[in-house]
Amino acid sequence: MPRNPRRIKGMSVRTVEEWVPLIHENLAVIEERIQAACDSSGRKREEVTLIAVSKTQLHEAILAAHALGLRHFGESRWQETETKVHALPSDITWHFIGKVQSNKAQKIAQSVDVIHTLENSRQLAEIAKQTRTFDGLIQLNISGEEQKLGIFPGNLDRLVEDVIQCKHVRFRGLMGIARMVEDPEECRAEFRLLRQEAERIGVNWLSMGMSHDLEVAIQEGSTHVRIGTALFGSR
């Protein structure tokens, strides 16, 4: 089991310079875990994109992560995302990983680079009203839990057609969230399902794996891991 990330407290009073060594320590551990997972599955490290899940994090923490070389950041709330997009470095690639409410879909599409959570035609209808093109992934419910977002596999093909027909979306792949269990190995079949569905429909981006289960996700083919707690510490 990976060690617990260094907890970072007193966020409101830390400067960028104070954040850097704390995030650097956690990032080193994450990189070791990613590399080990790649080695164990015969993959190259560059095949996996690390998305720093920066939702609820202060600008100083994001700037510290940016100073350490991270360029992909994940947000889940529109108002917070909008503020950060305009205030933080322009070379950041912004990933939206939260629920896309239909009445916010157009604004989200105008600002972020990747949306991981497409799941219905209402979102696409709003997205079609703007002119900016972005990378899009369909969120698939791989855990079978009713409370989880995403569509069930049986509804995937119909939504794929809708996404392909939306001219402002470059359809890249699938996103999924596995069950939160003590032993990530129990979720291997869920990650494998996402990979198999991606292979079946002919896409190659797989957004799966978080702080507690990134190894299994990478071994099953993840191309984008979403890491928050292990990088920034507990909120």
Q: Please report, for the domain that includes residue 164, its CATH number.
A: 3.20.20.10
Residue 80 within any structural domain of the chain: yes
CA gap 96, 50 in Å, rounded: 14
Amino acid 87 reads A
Rg (CA), the chain: 17
Q: Coil, strand, or helix at residue 15? A: coil
Q: How far is CA 73 from the centre of its chain?
A: 8
Percentage of the residues of the chain whose pLDDT score is greater than 90: 90
Question: Is residue 5 domain-resident?
Answer: no
Write down the mean pLDDT value for the chain.
Answer: 93
Residue 6 lies in a domain: no
In a domain, 34, yes or no: yes
Name the least confident of 23-37, 127-141, 145-159. Answer: 145-159
Q: Is residue 3 part of a domain?
A: no
For residues 229-235, average pLDDT: 89
**202 falls in which pLDDT band (50, 70, 90)?**
very high
pLDDT, one tens digit per residue, over 64-88 is: 999 999 999 999 999 999 999 999 9
Please report the pLDDT score of residue 11 as a whole number. Answer: 44
Residue span of the structural domain in which 65 resides: 11-232
Whole-number pLDDT of residue 147: 75
The pLDDT, as a whole number, for residue 109 is 96
**Model pTM greater than 0.75?**
yes
Q: Is the dihedral of CA 52, 57, 59, 65 positive or negative?
A: negative
Mean pLDDT calculated for residue range 153-180: 96
* CA dist., res. 55 & res. 73, Å (int): 9
pLDDT tens-digit readout, 90-120: 999 999 999 999 999 999 999 999 999 999 9
Two tokens, residue 57: 């994090």
Query: Which residues face 72 on adjacent strands?
Result: 93
Predicted confidence band of residue 1 (pLDDT cuts 50, 70, 90): very low
Domain-embedded: residue 1: no
Name the DSSP letter for residue 180.
Answer: -
Question: Residues 112, 72: contact at Cβ < 8 Å?
Answer: no
pLDDT over 70 percentage in the chain: 94
Please report which helix (H) or strand (E) contains residue 9, including its range. Answer: none
Rounded Cα distance, 37 and 203, in Å: 22
Structure confidence at residue 146 (pLDDT): 78
Mean pLDDT over 164-188 rounds to: 96
Residue 149: inside a domain: yes
pLDDT beyond 60 at 9: no
In a domain, 49, yes or no: yes
Domains in the chain, number: 1
